[in-house]
């Protein structure tokens, strides 16, 4: 049997740090209020010189270096993002050029905060069916471009960043299974209200820019229920008991959601990789950012069993069970 195995990870964050105390100066909020509700202390915000493709390029280069893989060996690039540089060409194509990849397939996948899990699932299938031997997978976002900095409910939550990994075909188990789902009935709870075919008219707020809209309490309730179900689904698909997991690497949306998922798995918080306090919610970038941090600081070791999960606008959700 052919498996997809992680052979290198990388990540990249914008230079600018925005703390809760910085936000106190422009919003009716304070550090304690933000930390109590989200667990966030600070987030990174990209500049005009740091669009999604620049963040992604840097993360991908670090992953390729960690894997000791030449760009010419890559058979496919899959990018999870909700904030591409352009409508087209895809950001994946722009990154392909930046990295000097061969004429391989390159695609964007838009599944909001679940984008990296969706991209990982696609990459895994290409390797398992024999169509690719080495695949570069990335999650990158500049959600600050969709934030109305006058609205506390979204301005305190989101940040920018990118994370990546290189997958290689292997006879040794790596990605054991991936699971992806969606339910458009919840679309109005987390969305933007403009788009290409619908037009960009009517943008009176946020200086005429597209804006991320979120009904936070409703999103929280659905997220906790849904992530609980996908945990059960993933373990059942692999005939595995939750006690066999070494690490939970969750989407970094909110510390309360992360804690609820850990309780579901009877995992202590020392077994959970947490970056939301320093990164905020970086959407599709959050899972690979957290994974790379834990790999590089030595917490995650070869042979560890990892559960990755994410939940995002759409609604979309997904998971991956990985023997690292």
Instruction: Look at residue 322 and give its three-state secondary structure.
Output: strand
Residue 251 annotated among the catalytic residues of the structure: yes
Other Cβ atoms less than 10 A from the Cβ of 35: the count is: 15
Reading the block at residue 101, the tokens are: 């990849």
Instruction: Note the Cα 63 to chain centre separation in Å.
Output: 15
CA nearest to 191, candidates 210, 206, 207, 208: 210
Residue 206 annotated among the catalytic residues of the structure: no
Return phi, psi of residue 58, to 5°.
-65, -40
Reading the block at residue 55, the tokens are: 């963040």
Catalytic residue among 60, 251, 254, 279: 251
Residue 268: exposed, middle, or buried by beta-carbon count in 10 A (0-12, 13-18, 19+)? exposed
The C-alpha torsion from 29 through 206 and 145 to 104, rounded to 10°, is: 150
Catalytic residue among 60, 93, 113, 138: 113
Instruction: Look at residue 127 and give its three-state secondary structure.
Output: helix
Residue 239 annotated among the catalytic residues of the structure: no
Give catalytic residue positions: 113, 251, 281
């Amino acid at each position: 049997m052919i498996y997809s195995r992680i052979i290198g990870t990388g990540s990249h964050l914008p230079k600018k740090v925005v703390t809760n105390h910085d936000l106190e100066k422009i919003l009716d909020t304070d550090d304690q209020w933000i930390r109590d509700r989200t667990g966030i202390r600070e987030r990174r915000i990209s500049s005009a010189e740091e669009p999604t493709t620049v963040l992604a390029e840097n993360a991908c280069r670090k992953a390729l270096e960690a894997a000791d893989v030449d760009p010419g060996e890559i058979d496919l690039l899959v990018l999870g993002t909700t904030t591409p540089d352009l409508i087209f060409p895809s950001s994946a194509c722009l990154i392909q050029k930046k990295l000097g990849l061969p004429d391989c397939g390159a695609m964007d996948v838009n599944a909001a905060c679940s984008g990296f899990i969706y991209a990982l699932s696609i990459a895994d299938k290409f390797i398992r069916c024999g169509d690719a031997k080495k695949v570069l997978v990335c999650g990158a976002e500049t959600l600050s471009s969709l934030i109305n900095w006058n609205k506390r409910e979204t301005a305190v939550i989101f940040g920018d960043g990118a994370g990546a990994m290189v997958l290689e075909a292997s006879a040794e188990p790596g990605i054991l299974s991936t699971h992806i789902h969606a339910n458009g009935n919840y679309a109005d709870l987390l969305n933007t209200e403009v788009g290409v075919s619908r037009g960009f008219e009517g943008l009176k707020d946020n200086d005429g820019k597209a804006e991320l809209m979120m009904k936070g309490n409703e999103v929280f309730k659905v997220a906790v229920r849904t992530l609980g179900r996908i945990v059960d689904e993933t373990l059942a698909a692999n005939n595995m008991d939750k006690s066999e997991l070494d690490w939970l690497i969750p989407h970094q949306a909110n510390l309360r959601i992360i804690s609820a998922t850990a309780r579901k798995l009877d995992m202590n918080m020392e077994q959970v990789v947490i970056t939301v306090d320093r990164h905020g919610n970086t959407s599709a970038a959050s899972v690979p950012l957290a994974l790379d941090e834990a790999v590089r600081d030595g917490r995650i070791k070869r042979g560890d069993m990892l559960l990755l999960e994410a939940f995002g606008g759409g609604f979309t959700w997904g998971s991956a069970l990985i023997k690292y």
